[in-house]
Structure 1
Amino acid sequence: MAFLVSGTLWASAQLADAWDSLGRKGKYSVQGSRVALVLSSPGVSATAAAALDGVSQALGFETCEKRVVPVQSFLEELRVFREQLDVRRAAVGCALVVLMAPSGQLRQPQLLVKELSHCGALQGRPKIFLLLLSSGLKSAREPAAFLAALGEICSQHPHWSLLQLLTELFCRVAEEAAGNTHCPVFRTSLRGSLCLGAMDPWRPEAFWEELVQFREKLDTHKEPVSCALVALMAHGGPQGQLLGADGREVQPELLVGELSCCRALRGCPKIFLLQACRGENRDPGVGPRALPWYWRWLRAPPVLPTHADVLQVHADFSGSSSSTPGSSGQADILTVYAAAEGCVAYRDEKGSDFVQTLVEVIRANAGGDLLELLTEVNRRVCELDVLGPDSEELRKACLEIRSSLRRGLRLKD
């Protein structure tokens, strides 16, 4: 009976993953065609439409319908668009709807959003709405400039998520506004990361490219930099390497070494948080020695991870210039792994126990010594019983903290 129930739940989870496109991996798969609809009221110039072509191309929307209709007809046009999607046989991965009209005419945009939410072909799929309102019928400068900037950012950063792209766009708009009150706003109920560019954000070269850009930006930063934190979240290989969606891999130590070359961070602490598997071992934990049944019933000692309660100190006095932890080239680095060497790092649709516990501990004592706080995080993680996605037995997890810090580190005075 237990096997039957487990198999049924597993099959249901697989069907749910295929249905909602999220796959319980925190990222939309966006498999299928990407369709777009552009509705603009009469009087909106062709300049904005031309800028929109660049955005559609950068985001990979191969099908784009454009219609010029009065604002009062937007709802009916969207209803026709929804019906067309529901009767088509090809799978739809994502939908983009752009609405361009003079400010004040588009009074109930949520009705349009709700209309597309009823589309069966888009059930569980991301639906993107761009509402571009201009100050007048003949004023196409505002939406055209907005779209041109969005297209430029999409082309420059094809591996960024859509929320990252929009945040960068809002930053540029705010800088160019020069004191004006205009500021874009986005509202989201996305359940995962949405990446529409040509480059997969989980590819190792994307990690490397982002880290190189981050280092170069720090080196040109005008103000002094006191500390840097980098969080890397990906699938991991049997030897601890980070795996990309295309099967390529990179050792996390190489990424750590890239930031060690940063001139602005010379002598400053560099923190790395790695949420990735470091092997395929699933630790059942170590229980207490055999005790009489009544003693176990009165006071049952907890099961601990196999790798817990260990302190190793590496001191290399050979003068070697190797990049081993603790060498001069690797000073002032703090690396926190979500799993012990050779073990699986657990996370589920609710997130990572390591990351969530880290946030809780730091929020409760933001001014505490970071190594002491991480020790507390590890204690709490070690006490958790984890039920992996491929096992009915409870497992244990344990962090690994590597430090070559030469001073105490407190993130808040």
Structure 2
Amino acid sequence: MAFLVAGTLQVASQVADAQESLGRKGKYSMKGPRVALALCSPEVSASTVAVLEGVFQTLGFESCRRQEASVQGFRGELTRFREQLDAHGGSVGCAFVALVARPWQLRQSQQLVRELSRCKALWGRPKVFLLLSSAPGAVPAPGAFLASLGELCGRRPHWSLLQLLTEVFSRTAEESAGAAYCPVLRSSLRGALCLGNVEPWGPEAFQEEMAQFRKQLDAHRGPVSCALVALMAHGGPQGKLLGADGQERQLEVLVQELSHCGALRGCPKIFLFQACRGGHRDAGMGPAALPWFRRWLRAPPATPSQADVLHVCTDVQGRSSRGPTPGSLNQADVLMVYAAAEGCVAYRDEKGSDFIQTLVEVLRADPKADLLELMTEVNRQVCELDVLGPDCDERRKACLEIHSSLRRRLCLQV
């Protein structure tokens, strides 16, 4: 009986750890040590191994070096690695395995992936495999790829690993122009994997990313026809963006950053905001049927209290800096869509945002229609929904708010 109880408690503890590994915000919690293993064939240079260990250190991992010449040797080392993790006695935050060998030695990598997936200490935890070819003249060279990854990790600690790898893929593909090479990643991650010790999307990060985005557009050689920015974060009253550290930024600061982009002058700029704009929870308005009529007369659904309003402002000179001003050259050609009316909560649940999901469905159904009309249709569908927030047991209503200074019809597909 004591053995059964102990086993049950151990399983319950593992289940709890697995559930906590992925937070409600869709981000791995990274509780526990970060462990890394480098498996390199003998011909791999010491400089490549040093760069690899530097990448591990930048990402907060402890690295250990192994040299084997065959796939069988790799698997044996990985088996011992798994046994060491299981003997650790607790959950591991993340595991990173780098394989640097000849291409033929990497063809059976799925066997190594399955070997580590059996690790109980990594149940529900992210497992990263990096495969690099050590063949002469390999494109990209392992050292160059790792150096680019390490440099980017140091400059962008708030980026997720998928973002980092995508940027590295872009750089290495440009450097190897003319070669038949394109990196590929396969992912079954259930959430964002952020290895840096920085909150991934604080207000400073948003502004930094927007400034970087603007520089990339201005440096782009060809014409730019349109820009779309989707921003999902915590929000507060008066259009403020709240970070995990409690600091605030005005959403309009981000809009102005892109409005001053030379490459986008006269071009449409679209902003989608999935963020709260206050704490009001709208119960909606509408006629309610009397109890004895409910069998024969179905009352129409409640309507958000801030729906069915069109507000046109032509006083350019007298307006404040909040929101686009149609006559201002810097603020023209901007479309901003908020997931909530001013002062209201923007709802989402474990399945995601109703605003974003509805937007995707509407765009797929009629991609050639005018975007402003499509956003109106999205608002109609969202207003018909009854939403249930995580901190409220009663059904509430949501209503989008659309700000536009577009000077022409905007159709994303011709």
2:230 counterpart residue number: 231
Change (3 A) 1:21 1:111: same
SS at match of 1:129: strand
SS at match of 2:34: strand
Q: CA deviation at 1:325?
A: 3.2
| CA deviation profile, 1:33-86 (whole Å, cap 9, x unmatched) | 21101111222221210120221122221x111112333222222122122222
**Partners of 2:97 and 2:128 within 8 A in 1:** yes
2:134 is equivalent to residue 128 of structure 1: no
Distance 2:319 2:395 in 1: 43
Q: Name the stretch that deviates more: 322-331 or 123-132.
A: 322-331
Change (3 A) 1:248 1:321: closer
Distance 1:317 1:161 in 2: 41
2:275 counterpart residue number: 276
Distance 1:363 1:336 in 2: 18
Distance 2:345 2:284 in 1: 13
Q: CA deviation at 1:91?
A: 4.6
Q: Name the stretch that deviates more: 332-341 or 198-207.
A: 198-207
Q: CA deviation at 1:20?
A: 4.2
Which residue identity is paired with 2:29? S
1:116 counterpart residue number: 116
Q: CA deviation at 1:290?
A: 4.4
Distance 1:16 1:280 in 2: 32
Distance 2:141 2:316 in 1: 63
Q: CA deviation at 1:338?
A: 0.6
| CA deviation profile, 1:219-274 (whole Å, cap 9, x unmatched) | 22222222211111111224442111222121111111211211222222211100
Q: Give the TM-score normalised by the residue count of structure 1.
A: 0.89
2:37 is equivalent to residue 37 of structure 1: yes
**Partners of 1:345 and 1:397 within 8 A in 2:** yes
2:9 counterpart residue number: none
Which residue identity is paired with 1:310? V
Distance 1:127 1:401 in 2: 41
Q: CA deviation at 1:378?
A: 0.5
Distance 1:166 1:366 in 2: 30
2:63 counterpart residue number: 64
**Partners of 1:37 and 1:98 within 8 A in 2:** yes
Q: Give the TM-score normalised by the residue count of structure 2.
A: 0.89
2:254 counterpart residue number: 255
1:378 counterpart residue number: 379
1:54 counterpart residue number: 54
Distance 1:344 1:79 in 2: 50
SS at match of 1:236: strand
Distance 1:17 1:120 in 2: 11
Distance 2:152 2:108 in 1: 29
Which residue identity is paired with 2:49? A
Task: State the identity as a percent.
Answer: 67
2:324 is equivalent to residue 309 of structure 1: no
1:157 counterpart residue number: 156
1:9 counterpart residue number: none
| CA deviation profile, 1:261-292 (whole Å, cap 9, x unmatched) | 11222222211100111112222222314457
Distance 1:106 1:152 in 2: 26
Q: Name the stretch that deviates more: 396-405 or 197-206.
A: 197-206
Structure 1 vs Structure 2 CA RMSD = 2.4
2:399 counterpart residue number: 398
Q: CA deviation at 1:318?
A: 4.1
Change (3 A) 1:70 1:281: same
Q: Name the stretch that deviates more: 336-345 or 138-147.
A: 138-147
**Partners of 2:139 and 2:181 within 8 A in 1:** no
**Partners of 1:101 and 1:134 within 8 A in 2:** yes
Distance 1:141 1:172 in 2: 10
**Partners of 1:33 and 1:90 within 8 A in 2:** no
Distance 1:172 1:139 in 2: 16
Distance 2:342 2:322 in 1: 18
Distance 1:46 1:290 in 2: 78
1:359 counterpart residue number: 360
Which residue identity is paired with 1:161? S
**Partners of 1:38 and 1:66 within 8 A in 2:** yes
**Partners of 2:340 and 2:346 within 8 A in 1:** yes
1:190 counterpart residue number: 189
2:264 counterpart residue number: 265
SS at match of 2:93: strand
Distance 1:67 1:97 in 2: 11
1:174 counterpart residue number: 173
**Partners of 1:44 and 1:101 within 8 A in 2:** yes
Structure 2, unmatched stretches of 5+, are: 1-11
**Partners of 2:36 and 2:97 within 8 A in 1:** yes
**Partners of 2:139 and 2:176 within 8 A in 1:** no
Distance 1:187 1:400 in 2: 37
Which residue identity is paired with 1:106? L
Q: CA deviation at 1:127?
A: 0.6
**Partners of 2:22 and 2:28 within 8 A in 1:** yes
SS at match of 1:394: coil
Change (3 A) 1:221 1:178: closer
Q: CA deviation at 1:387?
A: 1.7
Distance 2:170 2:262 in 1: 26
Distance 1:154 1:42 in 2: 27
**Partners of 1:44 and 1:140 within 8 A in 2:** no
SS at match of 1:347: coil
1:287 counterpart residue number: 286
Change (3 A) 1:184 1:320: closer
Q: Name the stretch that deviates more: 271-280 or 295-304.
A: 295-304
SS at match of 2:271: strand
Distance 1:399 1:269 in 2: 20
**Partners of 1:45 and 1:140 within 8 A in 2:** no
SS at match of 1:64: coil
Change (3 A) 1:324 1:234: closer
SS at match of 1:330: coil
Matches within 5 A, 1:75-94: 75-89=75-89, 91-94=91-94
